[in-house]
Every structure is written in C-alpha cells, then in structure tokens.
Copies of this chain bind each other. A is one copy, B any other.
Amino acid sequence: MTITMGAPAPTKLAERFTASANATDSPVFSNEQFWQWFTEKRRRNGYVVRRIPFAEMSGWDFDPATGNLGHHSGRFFTVEGLQVRTDWQGGWSWAQPIINQPEIGILGLVVKEFDGVLHCLMQAKMEPGNIDTIQLSPTVQATRSNYTGVHKGRPITHIEYFVSRRDSTVLADSLQSEHGTWFLRKRNRNMIVEVTDEVPEHDDFCWLTIGQVHQLLKKDNVVNMDTRSVLSCLPFGAAGYRTDGSAFRSALRNSLSHDQPARHTTTELLSWLTEIKARHELDQRSVPLSSVDRWYRDDNEIAHEDGKHFTIIATEVAAAEREVSQWTQPLLAPTEQGVVGFLARPIDGVLHLLAHARAEAGGRDIVELAPTVQCLPGNYRDEEPGRRPRYLDLIQNAVGQHVYYDSVQSEEGGRFYHADSRYRVVEAPDGFPLETPDEYRWITVHQATDLLQHSNYFNVQARSLIAGLHSGA
C-alpha cells in the first residue's frame, strides 16, 4: 500500500492521472472506510426485483400492429425488431429483438484535487438489473429524460457540473457506443470534469483516487459499466507509472508512451478501419417485433426458439434510492455469462492488445474495435469447431501467470438483467503469430486512449477491459 499524498503535484494532465492511478489508497477516504461505507450501502439500500408476466406491467404494452413493446407515454425505450445483413465476418443475415432508446445520456465523472492528487467522486448507485444490488457508478448517470425531468423523479445530484458546466473544466467529453448486440445505435456522453471549489457532501458519494478504483476493478461486480466506460477515456502518462517490478506492468507502462514502438502506426490502424468501412456493408432495417423469425413471445418472455442469446422479461422493482420509488419495466436477460477477453503480449517490450474489428447488429458504423473475443459460448455449443469464435479457447483456458486480468463485471443494470461477463486479459501463448488475420490488429494502449478522445472507435466491452488493464498484475 502506497499513499503518495504530499508529493509535488504534476502539471500535465496525463501525469496527474498517472499520479492518481499510482495512489492505491488515500487519506481522503481510505480503502477501509470505503468498504465500511459500501457494505453499509449494500446492506441498507436493498430493493426487490421480481419477475412478473408482461400483462402485470404498468404503462408498458405491446403495439397491436407491430408487437413492439413500449411505454404508453412514448418515453424511456422500446423493444423492436431488427433485420440485419452484413458481408463482413464471412457474411451473416439474421433478425432479432433490439432495444431502441435514441436519446443520449450523460455518464459524468467529477474529479478534484486533494493534497495534489486527483480524486474521483464516485456514487453508490442501485440499478434493477445488477447482480449485487448496488454498484459504484460515476458521479452522474442520467438519461436526458432523467435530467430534464421527464421521469418526474428527484433532481439528479451534481448534474449542474455537466449541464450548466458550473465551476467545472472539461477534461474529456465524447460520445461512446453501448452494446451493439442489444441496443440500436445507442450512445452515451462520457464526460470527465474537474472542479476546484468545494463540492457539497452527500452520503451516496465518496472521493476515491483512480488507483483505488483500479483496485476495485479486481473485484467482481463492484465497479459498474458506466464507470469503466468513463475511466477508459483517461490518458495516462508513462513517466512514473507504477510497475511494482512486474513484467506485465512494465510492458503496460511502455504501452502508455508515445515514444515506444508500436506494431502499426495509428495511420495504418485508421486506414485498416477505413478500408473495412469502405468495402463492407451493415444493412439494418427496423421490422415489427412480431415478424422476427425464430423468436417467440409468451405471457412471460420473448425468447429465441433454441434458447440462445437473451430473453426480454418483465420486472417489478421496489427500491428506496432511485428517481421514483416503485415501477415496472422490461429488462433484457442474457441466457448465460459472457466471455470477453483481449489476447495481449509485449512486442519489443511494449504491451499490445489484439483488437477485433467487429460488426454488431445495432452498431452505428459497420464495425468498431472490440476485444479479441466477445461472446456467449453457449450460442455455439452445436457448431462445428471451425464456426466457434476464434481464440475463445485461448481466453477461457489460460491459467496462472498468463492471466493478466480476470474478473466478472456487470453490464448496464438499468436495461439488462443479471448480465455479466468474465472479463480477461490473457497473454498470447508462445508461438502465437504476430501476423494477424485481417479482422484483427495489435494496438498499444496509448493508441487506444488517443482514439478514445473521439467517438465510436471502441465498443463498450473493449473499453471495460482497457479500464481494467490498470488493475492487472
């Protein structure tokens, strides 16, 4: 445990983030205090989520003409059908249910210096689909309906730092995509703002260094998806980055530097993506939910006839700590735990991740960069070995020091029910070729964070792993 308070404050942003990442504990709110507070939050702020038949939902109905599921106010989101066709990844055509929620929400993190070290204002937030009730969210997590009052709920605490930008300086601000397999063209605004004035205290919030949050990313289901997404946009400097003498962390530190050699130049990576987008198509056509082939609806769920992918269920939520105290809503429930992983390796001492150019049903622009592997393995249980996801075995079977990072993390609990995945960063085995199939490229971490200043380069699973990397050993 290292407490770095009192060291001279660095001035460049990347160095300031690094100093905060190096601080794995803090006198402002120690790890011990955090766990007391967080355990108490989880204990006291219980809520009950109960599956109910669709007919018992209040305000939610199936449109008689299309079978689409929506709220009678026209707000929140709808579950629709989508017909998809792409000539990428060997060529596929399919139809599926998908969530359409066009408005752009804010995932906003307030940071502030205490004793020269940046701290993040984290919130203990409950979401109905979360496995462990309450998780750690960014300072603000709000749909536009939330913060403009459509929900008619309580005002969003600290929203003013993001909406009116009162007394705050923006450090990062980009639109990033979410779950293209489940959402139609969804994206949220990922913001980091710095505040220098006093921030009002509130019992649902605490100040943690980036290093403290990184330590929490080693735990299962503590740090929520929105926090991981926002953290992935942070550029760290290599200078002074804590390595603890491990070979992995030394290679990670080198991967943060613009001066270290990368397998491909960023121009080459951008050209590869441009080529894919120029040559391939992702045709998306909204269709009535009732017309979606191979999916059925009964009183309790919308499901795939082979039990694959996910179901749409109805739930009733009773909770103390949300905008309104009780409601019913549909949730999307994956059929099993997902597997999400990057193969990684040092190349000339610099950590590289094997990124996959992946087309997803609800994607905005043909492909985004995804982890090496991202799937529900059960979807492929009946497939020939050649049709199973490439590299899945390498991600699943790695053990010991070849596993740089390994934890179970939840997807967004406001729309997804018990949706979790095993997130892993795994060392590529001896003899794994540097030459990659054309759907893959080796990238460094600083190339990734440079691109993350812009929108829609990395999908949300890749962003989760990029955030998690820093807690790897």
Contacts and interface: CB of A to CB of B under 8 A. Distances in A.
Interface residues on chain A, size class: 20 to 34
How many copies of this chain does one complex carry?
Answer: 2
Contact of A173 (B172, B275, B455): B275
Contacts of A175: 274, 277-278
A453 B174 CA distance: 17
A106 interface: yes
A173 B277 contact: no
A191 B175 CA distance: 26
A429 to B, nearest CB: 31
A189 B453 contact: no
Given A270-B453, A453-B270, A454-B454, A106 B172 contact: no
A271 interface: yes
Contacts of A170: 267-268, 271
Given A189-B278, A278-B189, A173 B271 contact: yes
Contacts of A453: 267, 270
A104 interface: yes
Interface in A304-359: none
A267 B454 contact: no
B171 A267 contact: yes
A143 to B, nearest CB: 11
21 contacts: A104-B277, A144-B278, A144-B279, A170-B268, A170-B271, A172-B267, A173-B267, A173-B270, A173-B271, A173-B274, A174-B274, A175-B274, A175-B277, A175-B278, A189-B274, A189-B278, A191-B271, A267-B453, A270-B453, A274-B455, A454-B454
- Chain A to chain B: the 9 pairs with minimum beta-carbon distance, closest first: A173-B271, A104-B278, A170-B271, A189-B278, A173-B274, A454-B454, A175-B274, A174-B274, A189-B274
